[in-house]
Amino acid sequence: MYRRIVCALDIGKLQKGERLLRRAAALADDGGEIIVVHVVEDVPSYLADLPQAVVTGAIKDSQEKFESLCHRMAIPAIVDTRTGRPATAILAVAEERKADLIIVGSHIPDLSNYFLGATADRIVRHAKCSVLVERG
């Protein structure tokens, strides 16, 4: 169905990540490409001044965990770990890779983002391709 899928995963929710990755594999065309995206959020300097080694370590750790997850699930995927704001980075990857689908998870909302999670909401509003939002 889709030739290039960006699958946005959260390192803190690997079980949900497995579900999203299975969904991406099921929706990808034969020979289609799956790009797993994880974003290490920047911590504002007024909250903490993290040493670069901590950020670099977080990037390396998430890259290794997602590569291992894809290998364990036997799903060939490109893992792209970025830093910044999650929605902005995910949308950038989708545009750079010319994705025709973004798969993103959403949490149970609170009052500030009632219908979708804040990241999922921003992606849905600004994506230039189809977006599948997985609840739960």
- Model pLDDT, residue 53: 78
- Model pLDDT, residue 41: 82
Greatest Cα pair distance, the chain, in angstroms, is 47
- Model pLDDT, residue 15: 87
Could you give phi then psi for residue 54, rounded to 5 degrees? Answer: -70, -45
- Model pLDDT, residue 44: 59
Domains and CATH numbers, the chain: 2-135 (3.40.50.620)
CA distance 124 to 76: 26
What are the per-10-residue average pLDDT scores of the chain (136 residues)?
A: 96 89 96 95 65 82 94 96 94 98 80 62 95 88
Residues 6+ apart with CB under 8 A from 50: 43
- The long-range contacts involving 45-54, CB below 8 angstroms and separated by at least 24 positions, are none
User: How many C-beta atoms lie closer than 10 Å to residue 85's C-beta?
Assistant: 15
> pTM of this prediction?
0.87
